[in-house]
């Protein structure tokens, strides 16, 4: 009888340990499945202003790195990736020379694809600065556009039409030295042929989470563009 009780106790102990292990595994899996990286969120979850596809209705006239006039409406019929930047931004320099450069190299031979960078500091970033920046990245103005324009019109368009937050000057000198004087959105947005934004990915935020996360987010960005390019 005592032997049976001992066996029952041992069985009960093993059962409790096994059940605990299962619960730990299930809990861990659930927590990981609920962890959503900032770069993986649908773009509209980051801003209450986005409750459906964001479509650009109004036009804006800008100038590219060659001093040629470019209208946003001319991008209709193309798939394009968009990023805010300015010439003296250290964070932009890293993102553009890595993430955007990789995009450019992958899709530069695709006739329907464009890469578009618009300065958030048009007061200081004129055509000359755009040209120097483009040359440093070996960007062809036929498919990688660096754009500037009238400061008031450009900034108003980004806020009212593209739904970006207003540009802010950093007050902390150390932060300004490390990240740049102007705080702006660092994500890369993808627009379809109807001038509708289908998503955003933030490679800069992903980089801060490590190489593995960066590679995953970069891959998802490329896949997003591939999918949109296949849509006619």
Q: What is the pLDDT of residues 70-99, one digit of tens each?
A: 999 999 999 999 999 999 999 898 888 888
pLDDT of residue 155: 95
Q: Which of 223, 198, 168, 228 is nearest to 43 (CA)?
A: 198
DSSP state of 164: P
Q: What is the Cα–Cα distance from 186 to 133, expressed in whole angstroms? A: 17
Q: How far is CA 178 from the centre of its chain?
A: 20
User: What is the bridge-based pairing of β-strands 79-85 and 188-191?
Assistant: antiparallel
pLDDT in tens, 159-199: 999 999 999 999 999 999 999 999 999 999 999 999 999 99
Class of domain 42-230: alpha beta
> At residue 55, does pLDDT exceed 50?
yes
Q: Contact 200/186 with Cβ under 8 angstroms?
A: no
> At residue 110, does pLDDT exceed 90?
yes
> At residue 50, does pLDDT exceed 90?
no
Strand arrangement of the beta sheet that strand 188-191 belongs to: 54-55, 196-201, 188-191, 79-85, 113-119, 144-147
pLDDT of residue 172: 93
Question: Domain limits of the chain?
Answer: 1-35, 42-230
pLDDT of residue 91: 87
Q: Where are the alpha helices (DSSP H) in the chain?
A: 2-34, 90-95, 101-107, 127-136, 151-160, 173-179, 203-208, 211-230
pLDDT in tens, 120-157: 999 999 999 999 999 999 999 999 999 999 999 999 99
In 10 A of CB 205, how many CB atoms?
16
> At residue 2, does pLDDT exceed 80?
no
In which band, very low, low, confident or very high, does the pLDDT at 203 lie, cut at 50, 70 and 90? confident
| More reliable by pLDDT, 227 or 29 | 227
In 10 A of CB 124, how many CB atoms?
13
């Amino acid at each position: 009888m005592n032997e049976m009780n001992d066996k029952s106790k041992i069985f009960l102990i093993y059962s409790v340990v096994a059940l605990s292990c299962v619960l730990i595994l299930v809990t861990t899996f659930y927590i990981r499945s609920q962890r959503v990286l900032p770069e993986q969120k649908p773009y509209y979850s980051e801003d209450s202003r986005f409750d459906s596809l964001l479509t650009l209705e109004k036009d804006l006239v800008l100038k590219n790195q060659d001093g040629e006039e470019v209208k946003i409406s001319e991008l209709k019929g193309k798939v394009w990736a968009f990023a805010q930047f300015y010439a003296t931004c250290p964070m932009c320099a890293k993102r553009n020379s890595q993430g955007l450069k990789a995009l450019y190299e992958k899709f530069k031979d695709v006739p329907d694809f464009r890469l578009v960078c618009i300065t958030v500091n048009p007061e200081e970033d004129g055509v000359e600065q755009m040209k120097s920046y483009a040359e440093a990245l070996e960007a062809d103005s036929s498919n990688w556009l660096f754009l500037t324009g009238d400061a008031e019109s450009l900034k108003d368009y980004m806020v009212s039409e593209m739904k970006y937050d207003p540009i802010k000057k950093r007050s902390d000198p150390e932060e300004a030295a490390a990240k740049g004087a102007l705080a702006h959105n660092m994500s890369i947005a993808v627009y379809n042929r109807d001038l509708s934004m289908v998503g955003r990915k933030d490679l800069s935020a992903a980089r801060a989470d490590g190489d593995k996360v960066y590679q995953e987010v970069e891959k998802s960005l490329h896949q997003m563009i591939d999918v949109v390019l296949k849509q006619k």
